[in-house]
């Protein structure tokens, strides 16, 4: 029987390499922010706001909504209203349906303990038409005024290739 030996330099090198791989995998993320929802429920009037400063209008972007639910969420889908305010003051509104469970109640997405994480596409391969500050406001669009089981809501914007 021989004792296990650990080389500290090798451990540091492995940690640095793992961190570099993790960073390089997400290098296409332009913006990512998630906000908590009150544990007592998400009220219809409680809008989540995300301000994004844009300088590069030559790239294509994919817009995504991140949602973390608890197993207490009572529905098979989740609807959102998404308002985008452009730097010139113009506003665009989208309604997004996000399926969260199959008809038999089986959760969709990644489940860890009592949480379910999902990512939904809002728009693909879009450009920002002008530089400046964009405001994205996300509110739930369910029939109930107050919904339970939503833990976090987030906005993620990923960069694609430059426009040709």
Residue 61 pLDDT exceeds 70: yes
Which structure tokens are listed for 8? 């500290």
Once rounded to an integer, what is the mean pLDDT over residues 35-62? 95
pLDDT value, residue 88: 97
Mean residue pLDDT across the chain: 86
Short-list 157, 21, 153, CA closest to 98: 153
pLDDT value, residue 162: 61
Which contiguous run of DSSP H or E holds residue 12? helix 8-25
Once rounded to an integer, what is the mean pLDDT over residues 46-56? 96
pLDDT value, residue 163: 59
Residue 105 pLDDT exceeds 60: yes
pLDDT value, residue 160: 83
Cα separation, 34 vs 153, in Å, equals: 5
Domain map (residue ranges) of the chain? 29-162
The answer to whether residues 47 and 85 touch, using CB atoms and an 8 Å cutoff, is no
Residue 42 pLDDT exceeds 60: yes
| pTM, 2 dp | 0.80
Strand segments, DSSP code E, in 27-131 are 29-36, 42-43, 48-54, 59-70, 77-85, 91-99, 110-112, 115-126
Residue 19 pLDDT exceeds 50: no
Fold of the 29-162 domain: Jelly Rolls (2.60.120)
């Amino acid at each position: 029987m021989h004792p296990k030996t650990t080389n500290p330099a090798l451990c540091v090198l492995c940690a640095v390499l793992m961190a570099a791989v993790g960073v390089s995998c997400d290098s296409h993320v332009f913006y990512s922010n998630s906000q908590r929802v009150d544990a007592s429920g998400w009220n219809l009037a409680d809008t989540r706001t995300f301000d994004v400063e844009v300088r590069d209008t030559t790239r294509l972007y994919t817009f995504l909504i991140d949602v973390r639910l608890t197993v207490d969420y009572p529905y098979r889908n989740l609807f959102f209203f998404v308002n985008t305010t452009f730097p010139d003051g113009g506003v665009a509104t989208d309604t997004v349906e996000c399926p969260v469970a199959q008809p038999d109640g089986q959760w969709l997405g990644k489940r860890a303990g009592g949480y379910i994480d999902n990512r939904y596409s809002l728009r693909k391969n879009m450009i920002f038409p002008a530089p400046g500050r964009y405001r994205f406001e996300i509110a739930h669009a369910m029939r109930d005024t107050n919904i339970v089981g939503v833990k976090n809501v987030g906005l993620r914007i990923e960069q694609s290739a430059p426009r040709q």
